[in-house]
Amino acid sequence: MSTEANTRTFTHLLVTGGAGFIGSNFVHRTLATRPEVKIHVLDALTYAANPDNLKTEEGIPLEEAYPGRFTFTKGDIVNSAVVDDVVGELAREASGGDGRTSGAAIVHCAAESHNDNSLVDPGVFARTNVEGTVNLAAAAVRHNVFLHHISTDEVFGDLALDDPQRFTTATPYRPSSPYSASKASADHFIRAFIRSKGLRATVSNCSNNYGPRQHPEKFIPRQITALIEGKKPRLYGQGLNVRDWIHVDDHNDAVWTILEKGTEGETYLIGADGERSNIQVVRDLLRIFGQQPNAFLHVTDRPGHDRRYAIDPISIRSLGWEPVYWSFDAGLRETVAWYQNNQQWWKEARVASEEKYSQTEREL
């Protein structure tokens, strides 16, 4: 990978999927810390979004809290006409009439993002994650807009629990679920557009995120919300599978580092040396909630369950980024406090996702 220093400046961003977990945290953090940046969000508001994600903690819509700096379109990235309109408008706004679009970028977060859902309905993963990404890449080329593609370490498949290796930018793709296969395909399309169609882009593959506003279908919020409701955490199988946890703010800061300093056409792996087995995470949560270490249930394992993900973060560290959340325990405590203080945010979504889980999941 080239270590040549680049600097780009962006004043106009289109954030796809900005009403979801990572996208909304990116939007809030950017509006709060970068007064020169205007953001437009394109989001279909699927089950995974929460309209409250586009309000401040005090419940003020972002349009009102940041006048002139935040706008929103409800729309589907699978609809190429919608995508072309929104990307075209971004390019016009950023050009200021002189035809230059160097200040405009797409931060592409929109996706179907949950492995368990992809086992039940893979088709929507192919449509949103592959077709939607192709539409965005094509519109970015047409309007000469830079694109940063947010992807996952799951494209590499899994590692054995005792493998001394971690994922690097040279690791071959070996996805194992329909979700990771669709993300792998999207990554390949982005690289093909870079090579053959003049797309100006960067790609990042990040490890598992945690933090505020993550849907309660996902592992950490599912266990936190269960514990708040006085129920037991639910571990798939024996809970020995390992994930490499990173706080969502650290991920989003790394994305900004790539936008500004990353080499065009390059891929960066984002991780914070946060490997933990699922059972360790459940025990961390039980400790935070003042409960016994074995107060959890073993439930049906996920078919094809990836054993371990682990990122070698050298590519992103070479750009000068480093995590702020070195302590997983501190980040987890903050996240627990957020779910305790925002119960109206997750109650309805939890009922719906628990209903879905109850169709397939049994206590072991």
36 is catalytic: no
* Burial readout 82-121 (b: 16 or more C-beta within 10 A, e: otherwise): bbbebbebbbebbbeeeeebebbbbbbbbbbbbbbbbbee
- Binding partner selected for residue 171 from ligand TYD, ligand NAD, none, CB under the kind-specific 5 to 8 Å limit: none
Q: Sign of torsion, CA 29 32 34 35?
A: positive
CB 73 to ligand TYD: min, Å: 28
In the set 93, 131, 153, 187, the catalytic residue is 153
C-alpha–C-alpha distance, residues 107 and 308, integer Å: 27
Q: Sign of torsion, CA 14 187 153 265?
A: negative
Q: Which of 62, 76, 283, 296 binds ligand NAD (CB under 6 A)?
A: 76
C-alpha–C-alpha distance, residues 125 and 177, integer Å: 11
Q: Sign of torsion, CA 23 72 187 37?
A: negative
- Binding partner selected for residue 219 from ligand TYD, ligand NAD, none, CB under the kind-specific 5 to 8 Å limit: ligand TYD
Q: Which of 21, 193, 236, 245 binds ligand TYD (CB under 6 A)?
A: 236
Decide if residue 30 touches ligand TYD (CB under 6 A).
no
C-alpha–C-alpha distance, residues 198 and 141, integer Å: 7
How many CB atoms neighbour CB 341 within 10 A? 10
266 is catalytic: no
Decide if residue 335 touches ligand NAD (CB under 6 A).
no
Of 70-78, 195-203, 253-261, 322-330, the window that binds ligand NAD (rule: CB under 6 A) is 70-78
In the set 43, 131, 154, 158, the catalytic residue is 154
CB 13 within 8 A of CB 106: yes
- Structure tokens belonging to residue 35: 């007064």
Render 236-281 in DSSP notation, one character per residue.
Answer: ETTS--EEE-EEHHHHHHHHHHHHHHSPTT-EEEE--S-EEEHHHH
Q: Which of 37, 62, 94, 109 binds ligand NAD (CB under 6 A)?
A: 109
Decide if residue 167 touches ligand TYD (CB under 6 A).
no
CB 131 to ligand TYD: min, Å: 21
Q: What is the CA radius of gyration of the chain?
A: 20
Decide if residue 215 touches ligand TYD (CB under 6 A).
no
User: By rule CB under 6 A, what string of x and - marks binding of each residue 199-218 to ligand NAD?
Assistant: -------x-xx-----x---
154 is catalytic: yes
In the set 66, 179, 210, 236, the catalytic residue is 179
CB half-sphere exposure, 77, CA atoms < 13 A: 35
Of 117-125, 235-243, 264-272, 328-336, the window that binds ligand TYD (rule: CB under 6 A) is 235-243
CB 179 to ligand NAD: min, Å: 8
CB 74 within 8 A of CB 45: yes
Scanning residues 283 to 322, which ones bind ligand NAD (CB under 6 A)?
none
40 DSSP β-pair partners: 14, 71
Scanning residues 119 to 138, which ones bind ligand NAD (CB under 6 A)?
128, 132
- Binding partner selected for residue 313 from ligand NAD, ligand TYD, none, CB under the kind-specific 5 to 8 Å limit: none
Scanning residues 288 to 307, which ones bind ligand TYD (CB under 6 A)?
302
For ligand TYD, which is the closer residue by CB, 135 or 151? 151
Decide if residue 113 touches ligand NAD (CB under 6 A).
yes
CB 291 to ligand NAD: min, Å: 25
Residues of this chain that interact with ligand TYD (CB under 6 A) are 115, 208, 218-219, 222, 234-236, 241, 243, 278, 302
Q: Which residues are catalytic?
A: 153-154, 179
Residues lying near ligand NAD in the complex (CB under 6 A) are found at 17, 19-23, 43-46, 48-49, 76-78, 109-113, 128, 132, 150, 152, 183, 206, 208-209, 215
